[in-house]
Amino acid sequence: MNKHHYVAIMAGGIGSRFWPMSRTNMPKQFLDILHTGKTLIQQTFDRYTKLVPKENIFIVTSQEYVDIVKKQLPSLPSDNILAEPSKKNTAPCIAYIAFKLFQKDPKALMIAAPSDNLILETDEFVKTATTALNFVDHINALVTIGIKPSYPNTGYGYIQHEMTEAAPSIYKVITFTEKPNLELAKAFVASGDFLWNAGIFTWKVKTLLAAFEKYLPEIYEVFAAEKEKMNTPEEAAAIEQIYPQCTSISIDFGIMEKADNVYVIPASFSWSDLGTWNSAWENKEKDYFQNAVAGNTVMIVDAKNCMVHVPDNKLVLLQGLDDHIVVDTKDVLLICKKDKEQEIKEYVAEIKRNKGEKFL
């Protein structure tokens, strides 16, 4: 393992499309959505220990989740948990770890990744990630991993790339479009030359900081003004000053769509961002009638293509439902058509307006 290789796992989201399992005080990255025996962040951490030393893995999360991270990842040094004072999307989050790493190790190469991806073929993933690290070590490039799209998902970024390799298995990106509308997503999938953006980025930290300076100068400047405080006892106070000055923007919108040195590696492994209940249904074992069930005492009669997630100690009889999501928790029951799952986020906002935050 190379001592200059680092991983930043982003774990500050609230996973509102996985409501009511995912709550503000315990979002989806800290849950075992698929009943595997490990939470999503634990699976992600384990995957990256095959690539870099544990002490080179950092978790960037909200202040309110620091104790959860410590509990779920007890082998991670506590200094490697970076606490964000507010949710500002991925660009400030990545700027934080980039400035911290550059002060620590100017030769640093970094992978920035979500905490909630489902990747079961670890060996293939490690090969792909190693290819990305080796590429950016020699070229000032911003690299992402691409997934062949199976349907027109409007929640992903889409990547169009050149057909000629820039290096083995690596292609120069032509266009990078973040979360298109449905019609555009359909056109992308039909064209056959677009990939989903997996949101797993690799770069030399020095190259990334140059991109921040060029494309997001307002974020770059507020971090640069406090960079000497990184990795010192003054870091936490500096971050408290920096974050209110940062624009809330994704790294995709802020840099990847604008930069001219973006490359993509088409994935050789299966991938899911586990962003919705439908993605959980796709990745969970199903019965003869294509029902995916998490719960030990569920009986299904004349129902098919359903995603069911209920407590193990609760008997649930499901009859007559097709293509539905059924999720039961101690205080919330959700029954929703699968094709309406993207609207769960809107339902949560409506609940907040009408019922307060008790159920969130």
Q: Which residue has the tokens 């997934």?
A: 147
Distance between CA atoms of 311 and 253, rounded to whole angstroms? 39
Q: Is the model's pLDDT at 29 over the cut of 90?
A: yes
Average of pLDDT values for 121-145?
Answer: 94
Q: Is the model's pLDDT at 1 over the cut of 80?
A: no
pTM for this predicted structure: 0.91
Strand stretches in 36-185, DSSP E: 57-62, 81-84, 109-114, 142-147, 157-167, 170-178
pLDDT > 90 in the chain, percent: 71
* The three-state (H, E, C) secondary structure of 197-248, written as one string: EEEEEEEEHHHHHHHHHHHCHHHHHHHHCCHHHCCCCCHHHHHHHHHHHCCC
pLDDT > 70 in the chain, percent: 100
Which pLDDT score, from 0 to 100, does residue 157 have? 85
CATH architecture of the domain covering 5-140+197-250: Alpha-Beta Complex (3.90)
Q: Is the model's pLDDT at 328 over the cut of 90?
A: yes
Percentage helix, strand, coil, to 5, in the chain?
40, 25, 35
Which pLDDT score, from 0 to 100, does residue 120 have? 84
Name the least confident of 106-110, 137-141, 275-279: 275-279
Name the least confident of 102-116, 144-158, 198-212: 144-158
> For residue 279, what pLDDT band results from cuts at 50, 70 and 90?
confident
Mean pLDDT for the chain overall: 92
Q: For the chain, what are the domain ranges?
A: 5-140+197-250, 277-355
Name the least confident of 71-85, 103-117, 122-136, 176-190: 176-190
Q: Which residue has the tokens 């990795």?
A: 231
Distance between CA atoms of 30 and 348, rounded to whole angstroms? 19
Backbone angles phi, psi at 288, to 5 degrees: -60, -30
Polymer length in residues for the chain = 360
> For residue 2, what pLDDT band results from cuts at 50, 70 and 90?
confident
